[in-house]
Amino acid sequence: MDRRTRKTTDAIRTAVLQQMLSYKYNELTVSRICEAADISRRTFYLHYQDIDDVFSDIFDIINAPLYKAIEELEQNYIHGQNEDYELSVIFRLINQTIENNTAYLTRLACEPSYFHVQMRHITLMKNLINKHLKQSEDAKGIYTAYLDYYTSGILELYFQWYRHDHSLSLDDIRDFALNIIRADRQYFLHAEQSLRNP
């Protein structure tokens, strides 16, 4: 990407991030974005198909450091050998991503019109947590149900953090999540084995 293209796409993304703080999703328009970015509509469409395409680009940029850190974690540690450490790192990386993009992610969490944009971030977090909790790719039954229950509860704590519904910090949420899984993992693994081998 040459310097001019990078400058233009940066301006468009910045305009979208600024506009979304004031407008609901259905109130965002290419015209408003172009005015804020000081570009023409033609220039906008040279770089993006539509506003959702800009949000996809923002998603990739925001999460690029997270992806890179996860890749390094997976290269340096054998999955399953130190699961508590792995999960702790996953939550620390998620929290860093949230801290670095608080205004944007809070808007997604608190404004219902951006729910479809938020879903990509929810899915990413859920997949990261579940991937590092699964004992095997064929984990099924009560353990899989537990994973869904567990991750949904943790995600709800994050949503409440965005809305200031509790006084927990991001570190508190991480520690709470780790303590819950440490306490419950063996019970649910035993229950899973008992169901498989009655």
The 10 Å Cβ neighbour count of residue 53 is 14
What pLDDT is attached to residue 102?
A: 96
What's 3-47's CATH class?
mainly alpha
- What's the confidence (pLDDT) of residue 84? 72
- pLDDT per position in the chain (198 positions), as tens? 688 899 999 999 999 999 999 999 999 999 999 999 999 999 999 999 999 999 999 999 999 999 999 888 877 766 556 667 788 889 999 999 999 999 999 999 999 999 999 999 999 998 888 777 765 455 556 667 777 888 888 999 999 999 999 999 999 999 998 888 777 666 665 655 555 565
- Dist CA 105 CA 163 (whole Å): 11
Side-chain half-sphere CA neighbours of 103 within 13 A: 8
The pLDDT value recorded for residue 131 is: 78
What's the confidence (pLDDT) of residue 145?
A: 76
Predicted pLDDT at 144: 73
CA 42 to mean position of chain CA atoms: 32
The predicted model scores a pTM of 0.84
Query: What's the pLDDT score for residue 180?
Result: 82
Backbone φ/ψ region at 2: left (φ over 0), alpha (ψ -120 to 50), beta: beta
- pLDDT for res 175: 93
Q: Could you state, in order of their start, the residue ranges of all structural domains in the chain?
A: 3-47, 54-196
Residue given tokens 């301006």 in the structure block: 11
Which pLDDT value is given to residue 181? Answer: 77
SS3 12: helix
